Amino acid sequence: MIERTAHEKFMQRCIDLAKLGLGNTAPNPLVGSVIVYNNQIIGEGFHRNYGEAHAEVNAINSVKDKSLLKRSTIYVNLEPCSHHGKTPPCANLIASMAIPQIVIGSKDTAAHVSGNGIKILQKTGSKVLVGVLEKESRELNKRFFTFHEKKRPYIILKWAQTKDAFIDIKRDSSSLVQPTWITNEYAKALVHKWRSEEQAILIGTNTALLDDPTLTTRNWTGKNPIRIVLDQNLKLPKDLKVFNNQANTFIIADKTQQNRKIKYENNIGIRFADYKKDFYAKLFKILIDMEIQSVIIEGGEKVLNSFIKNDLLDEARIFTGDIEFGDGVKAPALSLKNEQIDLLGDSSLTFITK
């Protein structure tokens, strides 16, 4: 095993700290920072919540003896910001503290930063090192980078299937048959944890009608995601759980429905797209305008296969339960690299990434 350098060790600490903000910082990135003097950490912090102090600010504030900053190194997994948003620029703060060395995991490719933070620091004469654990730093902020570089949210597909590869028995909207539970309580809790980590969750019309899901994090402590429902013709009844007041919901309807006068509760919004032409481009434009950087797709066969067919996914999370249906709705077929399989009681979980 190759021993990590000191720079890598302290950068890994930044990454570990940054992960503590998962689910709370979006649309800001996940950032951690440590300050090192004489090979010892004297301060550290991470970005806890959107709108609050950034990691570098929290790290600097945690240093008891500020005179040591002029002889220290500050580590941060993402280029310090250079613009005025809800908080002042971190690059300017670091420069004002005369910290002589700055080690950065990855460059911030968002248009409003994109190297400007590094330039501010370099102009002060400080030594700036970029690219320490760059791969790990980019993986940490995969949602943020996908949003800014690909101009769409990071897309996670999730479904549960039986041992014989079915995701459901055959049902229709006239049937009173409830969905058959495929996995176990461990899987259910994990799914609710995942929901708390993403900004939005998306389903189609059939899933809303047949399963009547709530799509909240009720079995986990964390924020509820924004619920996105594809309802092309605005036909879904208002008494569905997805339209309750436990979380905000946005309906994506076809543009032909714009003149219909339908009144929803205050937490329900409607956005319109062209379902017949460039639907996903329009959908992503809506989500980008809402600053939604990540979406977990928990739809049925039609929605899942549509994202797969159009190659609009970044990863898939597939549960396989210890039961068989013999017949029903076939699970999507997906073949990507970097497959990892874990077990949760009597179910297995497969992670697939591009």
Joined tokens for residue 276: 């017949």
Alpha-carbon gap, residue 91 to 261, rounded angstroms = 49
Alpha-carbon gap, residue 224 to 241, rounded angstroms = 14
Number of C-alpha atoms within 13 angstroms, CB side, residue 280? 13
Alpha-carbon gap, residue 74 to 332, rounded angstroms = 46
Q: For residue 239, how many other CB atoms are within 10 A of its CB? A: 8
**Single-letter amino acid, residue 315:** E
Q: Give CA separation, 236 vs 92, 206, 253, 287, in Å.
A: 51, 9, 11, 21
The sheet carrying 32-37 orders its strands as: 40-46, 32-37, 73-78, 101-106, 127-130
**DSSP label at residue 345:** T
Q: Give CA separation, 277 vs 97, 205, 254, 282, in Å.
A: 53, 19, 11, 9
Question: Catalytic pick from 44, 56, 79, 298?
Answer: 56
Round to the nearest angstrom and report the end-to-end CA distance of the chain. Answer: 27
Active-site residue, 56 included: yes
**DSSP label at residue 21:** G
List residues with catalytic annotation.
Answer: 56
